[in-house]
Amino acid sequence: MDSNGDIGTQIGDIMTNTIPRRQILQAAALPFANALLPGARAQSAWPNRAVTIIAPNPAGGPADTLARAVVPGMAKALGVSVVVDNKPGAAGKIGIQALLRAPRDGYTLAVTSTTALSALPVFDKNPGYRSPDDFEPLSLAIRALAVWCIHPSVPARNLRELVSHAKANPGRLNYASFGTNSSSHLAQEDFFRQLDIRLTHVPFKGEVEGMNALLAGQVQMMMISGAAIPHIKAGKLVALATTGEKRWSALPDIVTGRETRIPELASYMYEPWVGFSTSAGVPKDVVDKLSSAVQQGLKDPSAQAILADGLGYRIVASSVAEMREAVLQDMARYHVLARSGRVSTE
């Protein structure tokens, strides 16, 4: 017998005689057992089942429309089904809290807005979550444009004239919003703060109700979405300025706030955003995959047709870092508004 054979036999004898056979088999099987642990399997194979998007409003609402618009592109990117789960109520807080109760494994994300992540944590003393600490931003999705409108009975035909009239008649002009502490309410009050004018707030249940009150002359002013365009063109409303950085293609003759050359509006822009977030604690590699899938969903032709062509939104499809910065910037602005005393915190 050669020396190699003797050495091999001796090693085998030593192992057999000194280490129980059961321990040897357990040690040999350990790497395979670890590979089959649920956590390791889920992490290495993510995603291996359906991903859920929580829409914090009813079917057909803005968040629901956005969520369903990105489903085809996200499903292609992830290779699994993507489903939408509507959880409306409490100004979106029910949907947010459902997200935070879900396992932090990347299989649940939610449509989140500047209202939910930046405004409510400032103006609601008990929103039921901490922002931004409880969330992992994935991507800004869309930004919306709006136009400042007044009733034709108001003696002003541009924003400068409106400011002069409001300062001469403090509190006598009314403005409509779609709810106390809604994005509409806060954005308008912040605009008036910058201009140092005071109007009386009249909240309504939604934009349509507020716009109808403006058309009827029950209120004198409101910041409105593209729903105002037909009424502007028909002469039923007077458009003073749009809220974006650039002119709105749907209203090319209407100046932006910056173009009014009012010093306080030199850097003014209001384009409220909606995006997607998951819970803090989801593994970074999963967050990166989710963020990429959301961005691909937004860039899919079907989403473009619904969101940009159909509804006039500006599609953003940002990075994680860009969304985090947007949350913090808006929160800082809302803190300034809260300190001004114009809007109460509850």
Q: Are 293 and 74 in contact (CB under 8 A)?
A: yes
The low-confidence residues of the chain, meaning pLDDT below 70, are 1-44, 346
**Residue 44 belongs to a domain:** no
**Residue 11 belongs to a domain:** no
CA–CA separation, 122 and 134 (whole Å)? 15
**Residue 307 belongs to a domain:** yes
Q: Could you tell me whether strands 51-55 and 174-177 are parallel, antiparallel, or unpaired per DSSP bridges? A: unpaired
The predicted structure's pLDDT at residue 31: 38
33: amino acid identity, one letter: A
Domain end marker among 265, 299, 321: 265
The predicted structure's pLDDT at residue 346: 62
Q: Which two tokens stand for residue 144?
A: 């919306």
Residues 70, 97 within the same domain: yes
Which of 249, 297, 287 lies closest to 66 in space, CA to CA? Answer: 297
For the four alpha carbons of 123, 174, 144 and 254, in that order, the dihedral sign comes to negative
Alpha-carbon distances, residue 167 vs 149, 187, 195, 222 (angstroms): 18, 19, 10, 17
What CATH code is carried by the domain that includes residue 151? 3.40.190.10
Residues 293, 257 within the same domain: no
Task: Write the pLDDT tens digit of every residue in 280-329.
Answer: 999 999 999 999 999 999 999 999 999 998 888 899 999 999 999 999 99
Alpha-carbon distances, residue 96 vs 4, 88, 127 (angstroms): 68, 10, 10
Residues 140, 152 within the same domain: no
Residues 95, 133 within the same domain: yes
**Residue 41 belongs to a domain:** no
3-state secondary structure of 240: strand
Task: Write the pLDDT tens digit of every residue in 2-40.
Answer: 333 433 333 333 333 434 444 433 433 433 344 344 444
Domain end marker among 242, 265, 288: 265
For the four alpha carbons of 330, 270, 280 and 122, in that order, the dihedral sign comes to positive
Residues 259, 327 within the same domain: no
**Residue 13 belongs to a domain:** no
Task: Provide CB contacts within 8 A for 277, sequence distance 6+.
Answer: 99, 109, 110, 112, 117, 135, 136, 137, 138, 323
CA–CA separation, 342 and 256 (whole Å)? 24
**Residue 16 belongs to a domain:** no
Q: Which two tokens stand for residue 315?
A: 């599609």
3-state secondary structure of 239: strand
Residues 317, 247 within the same domain: no
CA–CA separation, 238 and 173 (whole Å)? 15
Q: Which two tokens stand for residue 40?
A: 């390791």
Residues 116, 137 within the same domain: yes
Q: Give the domain extent around 313.
A: 50-144+272-340
Q: How many domains does the chain have?
A: 2
Residues 177, 253 within the same domain: yes
Residues 138, 152 within the same domain: no
Alpha-carbon distances, residue 71 vs 67, 79, 297 (angstroms): 7, 11, 7
The helix (H) or strand (E) run that includes residue 232 is helix 229-233
CA–CA separation, 286 and 12 (whole Å)? 45
DSSP bridge pairs for 223: 148
Looking up tokens 């114009």 gives 342
CA–CA separation, 142 and 244 (whole Å)? 13
Residues 68, 112 within the same domain: yes
**Residue 35 belongs to a domain:** no
- Give me the numbers of helices (H) and strands (E) for the chain, helices first please: 14, 11
Residues 278, 252 within the same domain: no
Residues 79, 111 within the same domain: yes
Q: Which two tokens stand for residue 155?
A: 């003696």
The predicted structure's pLDDT at residue 7: 31
What's the Rg (C-alpha) of the chain? 28
The predicted structure's pLDDT at residue 160: 96
Q: Which two tokens stand for residue 95?
A: 């949907």
What CATH code is carried by the domain that includes residue 326? 3.40.190.150
**Residue 12 belongs to a domain:** no
175 CA to centre of own chain: 26
Domain end marker among 249, 265, 281: 265
